[in-house]
């Protein structure tokens, strides 16, 4: 088992497997935020037709399917076989060809020669012991001028109140224990990880939840959820 794996985290999301595609279940926040993630990816990467995309920590395939529908050749990695089974079944039902694999990104980077135009790593970094290891492996798999897009959660009191006390304990939008505050990542820390992997930060922007409209919007406010784009130079 790779060192940069938390079995408790894997088991946590494996138990959610049958609810991945229920827009009103435990994965409801992912369904709400997904259109904005796709919009941002298109803004940063342009037309995805025939581009090779790697979705790291793909879960049940919510983002992977959206990117495949835009014409990308998508590979999805995850460590929870139960989630991958759901992803494969749902893709087949929808006539989509997506290459789903059970592997850590570190092992995958060490075993294949393929390189990708775009790599996505959404809501994963705050669930692993060593985010730097993930980013370094992603950098290895990028083509020259390829882009790495990552979303995660800022580490501050506001994020703790909204996402842990609010979303988990009060509103019960997500299961209790989904997040560990100590694994939240400040933007400055993430940008340092990017630099350590010999990548360049191109963009950072917040994803702000509008309660009354039940949607996320792009925002200059990176206090809670934010997304960042890095690129590999020639």
Residues 19-39 as b or e (16 or more Cβ within 10 Å = b):
bbbeeeebbebbeebbebbbe
* Residue 57 assigned as binding residue: yes
* Residue 122 assigned as binding residue: yes
Residues near 93 by beta carbon (within 8 Å), at least 6 away in sequence:
none
Beta-strand runs (E) in the chain: 52-56, 73-78, 99-102, 116-122, 142-153, 200-210, 215-219, 225-231
85: exposed, middle or buried (C-beta count within 10 Å: 0-12, 13-18, 19+)?
middle
* Residue 203 assigned as binding residue: no
Strand order in the sheet with 99-102: 99-102, 73-78, 52-56, 116-122, 142-153, 225-231, 200-210, 215-219
* Residue 78 assigned as binding residue: yes
Residues tagged in the binding site annotation: 37, 57, 78, 122
Residues tagged in the binding site annotation for S-adenosyl-L-methionine: 37, 57, 78, 122
């Amino acid at each position: 088992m790779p060192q940069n794996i938390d079995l408790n985290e894997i088991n946590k999301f494996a138990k959610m497997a049958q609810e991945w595609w229920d827009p009103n279940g435990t994965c409801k926040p992912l369904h709400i935020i997904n259109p904005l993630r796709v919009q941002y990816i298109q803004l940063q990467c342009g037309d995805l037709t025939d581009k090779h995309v790697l979705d790291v920590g793909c879960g049940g395939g919510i983002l992977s399917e959206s990117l495949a529908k835009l014409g990308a050749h998508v590979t999805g990695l995850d460590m929870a076989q139960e989630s991958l089974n759901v992803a494969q079944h749902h893709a087949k039902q929808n006539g989509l060809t997506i290459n789903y694999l059970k592997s850590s990104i570190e092992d995958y980077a060490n075993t294949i020669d393929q390189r990708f135009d775009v790599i996505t790593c959404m809501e994963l970094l705050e669930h692993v012991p060593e985010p730097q290891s993930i980013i370094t492996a992603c950098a290895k798999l990028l083509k020259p001028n390829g882009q790495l897009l990552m979303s995660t959660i800022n580490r501050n009191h506001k994020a703790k109140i909204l996402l842990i006390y609010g979303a988990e304990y009060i509103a019960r939008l997500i299961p209790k224990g989904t997040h560990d505050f100590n694994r939240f990542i400040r933007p400055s820390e993430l940008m340092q990880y990017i630099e350590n992997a010999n990548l360049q930060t191109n963009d950072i922007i917040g994803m702000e939840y509008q309660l009354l409209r039940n949607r996320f919007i792009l925002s200059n406010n990176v206090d809670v959820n934010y997304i960042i784009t890095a690129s590999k130079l020639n």
